[in-house]
Structure 1
């Protein structure tokens, strides 16, 4: 981007918009390449081909394959985080409604679908070998875990140990169903996974029996 102070504001704005558009094209193409080629065989060349851009564009914005993939994972988490945070905020102040909204958000097809699950699990499978992926994952997982724990503390203010257990159960249930949806798509679907998660929480947390509505 030009730093010329004489450049008109409108022109600077257009330059930024064009840069943001190109970055978005490259990131979206990265996800498509991972679905098609797998993470290891995704390269700057396969991404550029998916994006319909020159490889030089991908190099200009992301410098290297590792830089591109790390930014793609961060972008994936940013989209996911904004989605569940918006859902929790829209649920109001009732912690039971917030918990239900968070579970519902996790199984929204916009966030949880075969293509995106393939991308998630491709990255998670490489965390052991690529420390940057693990660092990004921990950062965003910690944010979500704190949010769930805060909700559970409000649900169970007199039993912090139980509240902590509930927070772990929420993560375990949703993560487990994401894995089942990824590995066994013929046997699981988003709605059944959502309902089963909420029914399990009702059974595990008697206080929520009448406050969760799995079938709506």
Structure 2
């Protein structure tokens, strides 16, 4: 899962190197969302950003490096959005779990462009060692957060929960619902997807 891809092309002046790198990453995300992995190249990213291909190569070794950095940046954006929602939910583990679910099924995380970008990353996970390593790190952090909240939920309600397996199950449930809804929103609504996940957490709380 990732943040909404901006449709505004960046304007380059005398930006700092990190600012330029970020603008190129955002341009890459827009290209991936619109044209897919096969239609995204250094030339296309340069055109999207309004710069020369040489400037792209100055900041990145090539498309492999640029896509990897875009994956890393997208993962950080998602983590920041989820952290913000959890902070607003307060200290209750149950409230935090439900906030995590609600945020997962609302914009900017619930977005067809984000799906297109995420699918590009997923498609490289088995063949690109760098992407595989980033994927492992992103999802390890995602599952670790869920494990911590599930363990806290168990303490709050005085029940025994297998936290690792429960976190794996909830991750699969959220990813599956998110993917299916983005592929075909007519199948079920975002509210229905969230309700399914909320009921799963309620069942976990009851020990079922």
TM bin, normalised by shorter chain, reads 0.7 to 0.9
Report the CA distance between 1:127 and its aligned residue.
0.7
| Residue equivalent to 2:80 | 82
Equivalent residues in 2 for 1:23-172 (5 A)? Answer: 23-157=21-155, 158-172=158-172
Q: Secondary structure at the match of 1:185?
A: coil
Report the CA distance between 1:182 and its aligned residue.
2.8
Cα deviation code 1:26-68 (max 9, x no counterpart): 1111112112221133110011111122112211111211111
For structure 2, the residue ranges without an aligned partner over 5 or more in a row are 1-12
Give, in whole Å, the separation in 1 of the partners of 2:146 and 2:46: 38
Q: Flag the 1:161–1:196 CA change in 2: closer, same or farther, 3 A.
A: closer
Do the aligned partners of 2:36 and 2:120 also contact (CA within 8 Å) in 1?
yes
Do the aligned partners of 2:33 and 2:117 also contact (CA within 8 Å) in 1?
yes
Give, in whole Å, the separation in 1 of the partners of 2:188 and 2:23: 31
Give, in whole Å, the separation in 1 of the partners of 2:99 and 2:137: 22
Do the aligned partners of 1:118 and 1:182 also contact (CA within 8 Å) in 2?
no
For structure 1, the residue ranges without an aligned partner over 5 or more in a row are 1-13, 209-216
Give, in whole Å, the separation in 2 of the partners of 1:97 and 1:176: 22
Q: TM-score, normalised by structure 2?
A: 0.84
Cα deviation code 1:47-102 (max 9, x no counterpart): 11111221122111112111111101101101011111221122221100111111
Q: TM-score, normalised by structure 1?
A: 0.81
Please identify, of 153-162 and 170-179, the stretch whose mean Cα deviation from structure 2 is larger: 153-162
The structure with the largest alpha-carbon Rg is: 1
Please identify, of 17-26 and 46-55, the stretch whose mean Cα deviation from structure 2 is larger: 17-26
Do the aligned partners of 1:84 and 1:102 also contact (CA within 8 Å) in 2?
yes
Aligned pairs, number: 194
Runs of 4+ in structure 1 displaced over 6 angstroms?
none
Q: Flag the 1:128–1:41 CA change in 2: closer, same or farther, 3 A.
A: same
RMSD: 2.2
